[in-house]
Amino acid sequence: MKLFIGYATSEGQTRKIARHIADRVVDAGHAVELAPLADAADVDLTRFDGAVLGGSLHAGQYQKVLSEFAADHVTALAAMPTLFLSVSLAAAGHDAEDWRALDKILADFQDATGWVPGQVAQVAGAYMPSEYDVFRRFVMRRIIAAKDPEADLDWDHEYTDWDGLDALVDGWVETLGS
Ligand SMILES: Cc1cc2nc3c(=O)[nH]c(=O)nc-3n(C[C@H](O)[C@H](O)[C@H](O)COP(=O)(O)O)c2cc1C
C-alpha cells in the first residue's frame, strides 16, 4: 500500500504526529510520502491508495494551507480512503462545550472545502511555551491555567496520546486492505 501523509503545523506538534504515523505505517510494510502541505500543492493523489491529512487549531481555525489543499484536491480525496487528524488542545480535555466547538469547526471546514474525510480523529496536541512569542505565551498561559490547574506553565507539555494514536492509525490502515 502507498500512502500520502500531508500536514500543516504552526508550532511543530502536528509535524511530530505526522512523522510518528509515517514511521509506524512504514514499519508495517507500506510506502509513505510525507510532506508539509505547503510543499505539496501539485501532488497527484491518484498515485496513492490512501491519504492522511493533518492540521492544528489556532483561534478556532485550521491552517489556511490545509483548507486550500483540501479544496483544491477534493475530487481525488473523495475517491480514496482518507483520515483527517484535527490537532488541538480542546481534544485534550472532556469539556462538553469544547467538544461541541470541535464538531462545529470540523463541520465548517467540511462545508468550506467540500472534503468529507472518511475518518476523523480529534488528537490532543501540545502546550509549547518554548515556541510561543510573548502574545501567544500570555494567551496560552491563561487557557492552560484554566483547563489544567496542575500544569507547570513554564514548560512544554505534550497531551498527545501516542498509544491511542497508534491504535487509531493501525485500525484505519487495516480498513484499506479490506
Ligand atoms: C495562539 C494559539 C491559539 C490556539 N487556539 C486553539 C483553539 O482555538 N482551540 C484549541 O483547541 N487549541 C488551540 N491551540 C492549541 C493548539 O491547537 C495546540 O497547541 C496544537 O498542538 C498546535 O499544533 P501545531 O504545533 O502542529 O501547530 C492554540 C494554540 C496557540 C499557540
Cell triple for 118: 472518511
pLDDT in tens, 21-59: 999 999 999 999 999 999 999 999 999 999 999 999 999
Residue range(s) defining the domain that contains residue 133: 128-159
- Kindly state whether residues 108 and 135 are assigned to the same domain: no
- Kindly state whether residues 153 and 113 are assigned to the same domain: no
Say how many Å lie between the CA of residue 58 and the centre of ligand 1: 5
- Kindly state whether residues 10 and 30 are assigned to the same domain: yes
Q: Which of 10, 58, 98, 108 to mutate to test the pocket of ligand 1 (most atoms within 8 A of CB)?
A: 58
Share of residues in the chain with pLDDT > 90 (%): 94
* Full strand arrangement of the beta sheet holding 2-7: 31-36, 2-7, 50-56, 82-88, 119-124
User: Given this model, what pLDDT does residue 164 score?
Assistant: 98
- Kindly state whether residues 148 and 170 are assigned to the same domain: no
- Kindly state whether residues 168 and 108 are assigned to the same domain: yes
Share of residues in the chain with pLDDT > 70 (%): 99
Bridge partners of residue 50, in order along the sequence? 3
pLDDT in tens, 149-171: 888 999 999 999 999 999 999 99
- Kindly state whether residues 70 and 116 are assigned to the same domain: yes
Q: Which of 14, 37, 57 to mutate to test the pocket of ligand 1 (most atoms within 8 A of CB)?
A: 57
CATH code for position 11? 3.40.50.360
**Alpha-carbon separation of residue 139 from 12, 33, 63, 134, 142 (angstroms):** 18, 35, 19, 9, 5
Say how many Å lie between the CA of residue 9 and the centre of ligand 1: 10
Q: Indicate the SS3 state at residue 35.
A: strand
Residues having CB closer than 6 A to ligand 1 are 9-14, 56-60, 87-90, 125-126, 132, 136, 139-140
Q: Indicate the SS3 state at residue 32.
A: strand
- Kindly state whether residues 53 and 105 are assigned to the same domain: yes
Report d(CA 30, CA 168) in Å as an integer: 16
- Distance, CA of 19 to chain centre: 11
Report d(CA 28, CA 47) in Å as an integer: 20
- Kindly state whether residues 96 and 134 are assigned to the same domain: no
Q: What is the number of helices (H) and of strands (E) in the chain?
A: 6, 7
User: Given this model, what pLDDT does residue 101 score?
Assistant: 97
The sign one gets for the Cα dihedral 151, 152, 158, 162 is negative
User: Given this model, what pLDDT does residue 146 score?
Assistant: 87
Q: Which of 9, 56, 143 to mutate to test the pocket of ligand 1 (most atoms within 8 A of CB)?
A: 56
User: How many domains, in total, are found in the chain?
Assistant: 2
* CA Rg value for the chain: 16
